[in-house]
């Protein structure tokens, strides 16, 4: 499946992004990346809640979730599996930063293939040199200003034999505290508890991160140093599309598969059948 | 003149921004805002030098300045006065932060009317509550991640009678150091020297700022607090489109027009006839 795009200005379908769109000019908008399973967008309500929070923070009118769901369902059209990306921007404006008062929001939806299955042995991570800036006004929400993640992800290349075995990179903030991977949140197992960095200063409040915090006993937020990560009993990454991914290595540190990781993945698979499907496909690929 | 847009993918004209453009997805690109005077883009070489620096920093292939100049001249088409905005993005990519290795850059140019003349009495500024994050990797260059400026500019509205007299807002970084206005650099006169905050941690290395640092004796960089600004002998804002603008008030502090501001504006007008035209038009409007 090649990516299929649909675009709206307000609630009217349009053929193209206006070059004066503030998403293009300033990254003035938000996005959500949603797993599609058996024709349904998974964790839809949680994605809409985060989008609404982002709209409130940026002062962008919140589009009706019913409209978005109707259009998402029409685009998904019963497909068994895929990824739905939703972009919402403040719409078209004149030159200058002042937000237009009467702009219609732009909505873009893209349906594409699901990512490949994670490696059975777990992910190999590196430490990124690019830091995340501390900016409480933009922390937590999934806005379109993502140059930090782009620069971090550009630190290694799948085409370079020296780095082609790297699956993801961990980022610290400018004070040296661990925050997240470039496109996933991070949990570490320490003293029997799953801990993840807070997202009050930077980082994104991931949907799968939220699920773990809400549903796994003892899971919580904690400030983590690189040493805290490397000395953890186990490490996982998580996001809304790939679920929970075991980490096999960060830099020189290696981990065998930990029973607690299996338990965490099993709990998610039980609660959300979409992730049971990933477990099942991974087993079949043995 | 309504804004006139022209778009290219690589060096081929295209009709629309692809919704998969990384400028739209992540703000993965750069821009320049250039004054047009008597058919010529003012300070062209300085704009191209900053664009090249931004390309190097972000790892975006630098388009040939000759190509950009040829297209800029064709769009300007001899017009007496205007503003040329140039946007350069990494081009179209698949989902995910990893920069595509084979993408053609997107170039967008927009020609629009010049801004209105500045108020004769000088600008009235406010202090913005939105801070600028400290991020040396992105400081200095004019990239497309501009949500901080958008949030700062949204703190006051021209439509609100309580704030309609505000012309610009000053921003500090998250450590409380003064950085710049939302869309202009700042200089303060202290002990007979024009001083501007460094842009190594955040902010943009403005073209007019660079001209002042290079051409005005004693001008230099200095870390400035809010108190340093409010106790200065004079304050100006500057950018490449509006030149040097006298500041009449920051919050409760007011300044009469200072001879040094007149001198600074006269020096610029002498060096760059485009700004002499602004001086002349301002005098005629007396």
Does one domain contain both A134 and A163? yes
Distance CA A3, CA A1 (A): 6
Query: A134: which chain B residues are within 8 Å (Cβ-Cβ)?
Result: 133-134, 174
The domain that holds B147 is classified in CATH as 3.20.10.10
A259–chain B nearest CA distance, Å? 30
Does one domain contain both B76 and B129? no
Does one domain contain both B207 and B128? yes
Distance CA A35, CA A43 (A): 8
| Residue A175 pLDDT > 50 | yes
pLDDT of residue B282: 58
- For A151, the closest of B5, B17, B137 (CB atoms) is B137
Question: Is position B118 within any domain?
Answer: no
pLDDT digits (tens, 9 = 90+) for B188-204: 999 999 999 999 999 99
| Residue B58 pLDDT > 70 | yes
| Domain stops at, among B112, B134, B163 | B112
Question: Is position A250 within any domain?
Answer: yes
Band of residue B281 on the pLDDT scale cut at 50, 70, 90: low
**What is the total count of domains within chain B?**
2
Does one domain contain both B81 and B173? no
pLDDT digits (tens, 9 = 90+) for A185-226: 999 999 999 999 999 999 999 999 999 999 999 999 999 999
pLDDT digits (tens, 9 = 90+) for B130-175: 999 999 999 999 999 999 999 999 999 988 888 889 999 999 999 9
pLDDT of residue A280: 65
B147 contacts A58? CB cut-off 8 A:
yes
Place of tokens 């205007």: B82
Does one domain contain both A142 and A246? yes
**Residue A13 tokens, joined:** 């379908």
A112–chain B nearest CA distance, Å? 9
pLDDT of residue B286: 41
Question: Is position A90 within any domain?
Answer: yes
Report whether B241 contacts B272 (CB < 8 A). Answer: no
| Residue A94 pLDDT > 90 | no
Place of tokens 């949500």: B147
Per-chain mean pLDDT for chain A: 95
The whole-model pTM stands at 0.96
Least confident of A274-278, B52-56, B57-61, B229-233: A274-278
Report whether B110 contacts B5 (CB < 8 A). Answer: yes
Query: A58: which chain B residues are within 8 Å (Cβ-Cβ)?
Result: 147, 150-151
Does one domain contain both A81 and A181? no
- A150 inside 8 A of chain B by CB: yes
Question: Is position A118 within any domain?
Answer: no
Band of residue A101 on the pLDDT scale cut at 50, 70, 90: confident
Highest mean pLDDT among A272-286, B5-19, B94-108: B5-19
Give kind and range of the element (H or E) at residue A234.
Answer: strand A234-239
Question: Is position B269 within any domain?
Answer: yes
Question: Is position A53 within any domain?
Answer: yes
Does one domain contain both A104 and A145? no
The predicted model gives B55-77 an average pLDDT of 96
What's CA B12's distance to the chain center, in Å?
28
pLDDT digits (tens, 9 = 90+) for A32-61: 999 999 999 999 999 999 999 999 999 999
Query: A145: which chain B residues are within 8 Å (Cβ-Cβ)?
Result: 26-27, 145-147
pLDDT of residue A282: 58
Neighbour count for residue A121 (Cβ, 10 Å): 11
**Helix intervals (H) in A218-285:** 226-230, 259-271, 273-284
Burial grade of B218 (CB within 10 A; 0-12, 13-18, 19 or more): exposed
Backbone angles phi, psi at A269, to 5 degrees: -65, -35
- B174 inside 8 A of chain A by CB: yes
Q: Is A83 helix (H, G, I), strand (E, B) or coil?
A: strand
Does one domain contain both B22 and B163? no
| Residue A2 pLDDT > 90 | no
Question: Is position A117 within any domain?
Answer: no
Nearest to B148 by CA among B125, B171, B165, B167: B171
Question: Is position B117 within any domain?
Answer: no
Does one domain contain both B132 and B101? no
Does one domain contain both B153 and B106? no
| Domain stops at, among A112, A140, A167 | A112
Cα-based distances in Å from B249 to B75, B181, B270: 38, 13, 27
Q: Which residues have CB under 8 Å from B116's CB, separation 6+?
A: none
B108 contacts A24? CB cut-off 8 A:
yes
pLDDT of residue B32: 98
Determine the structural domain holding residue A38 and report its residue range.
Answer: 4-112
- For B24, the closest of A17, A159, A174 (CB atoms) is A17
The domain that holds A106 is classified in CATH as 3.30.470.10
* DSSP string covering B89-154: E--B--SSSSPPSSPPPEEEEEEEPPPPPPPTT-EEEEE-SSPBP--TTTSBS-BS--HHHHHHHT
Does one domain contain both A70 and A21? yes
| Residue A111 pLDDT > 80 | yes
| Residue A281 pLDDT > 70 | no
Place of tokens 């795009």: A5
Does one domain contain both A37 and A90? yes
| Residue A283 pLDDT > 80 | no
Q: Is A120 helix (H, G, I), strand (E, B) or coil?
A: coil
Cα-based distances in Å from A93 to B41, B47, B150, B185: 23, 23, 12, 23
The predicted model gives B20-24 an average pLDDT of 97
Least confident of A46-55, A277-286, B177-186: A277-286
pLDDT of residue B120: 85
Query: A15: which chain B residues are within 8 Å (Cβ-Cβ)?
Result: 16
| Domain stops at, among B58, B85, B112 | B112
């Amino acid at each position: 499946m090649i990516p299929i795009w649909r675009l709206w200005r307000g609630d009217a379908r349009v053929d193209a992004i206006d070059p004066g769109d503030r998403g293009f000019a300033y990254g003035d908008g938000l996005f959500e990346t949603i797993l599609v399973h058996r024709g349904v967008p998974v964790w839809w309500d949680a994605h809409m809640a985060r989008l609404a929070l982002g709209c409130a923070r940026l002062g962008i009118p919140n589009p009706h979730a019913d409209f978005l769901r109707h259009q998402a369902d029409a685009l998904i059209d019963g497909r068994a599996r895929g990824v739905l990306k939703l972009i919402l921007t403040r719409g078209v404006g004149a030159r200058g930063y002042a937000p237009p008062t009467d702009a219609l929001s732009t909505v873009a939806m893209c349906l594409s293939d699901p990512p490949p299955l994670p490696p059975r042995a777990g992910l190999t991570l590196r430490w990124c040199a690019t830091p995340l800036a501390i900016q409480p006004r933009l922390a937590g929400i999934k806005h379109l200003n993502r140059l930090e993640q782009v620069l971090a992800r550009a630190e290694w290349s799948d085409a370079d034999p020296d780095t082609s075995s790297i699956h993801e990179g961990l980022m610290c903030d400018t004070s040296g505290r661990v925050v997240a991977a470039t496109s996933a949140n991070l949990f570490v197992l320490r003293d029997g508890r799953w801990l993840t960095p807070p997202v009050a200063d930077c980082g994104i409040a991931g949907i799968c991160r939220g699920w773990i915090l809400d549903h796994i006993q003892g899971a919580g937020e904690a400030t983590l140093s690189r040493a805290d990560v490397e000395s953890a009993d186990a490490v996982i990454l998580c996001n809304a599309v790939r679920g929970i991914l075991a980490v096999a290595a960060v830099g020189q540190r290696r981990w065998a598969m930990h029973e607690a990781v299996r338990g965490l993945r099993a709990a998610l698979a039980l609660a959300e059948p979409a992730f049971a499907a990933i477990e099942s496909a991974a087993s079949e690929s043995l």
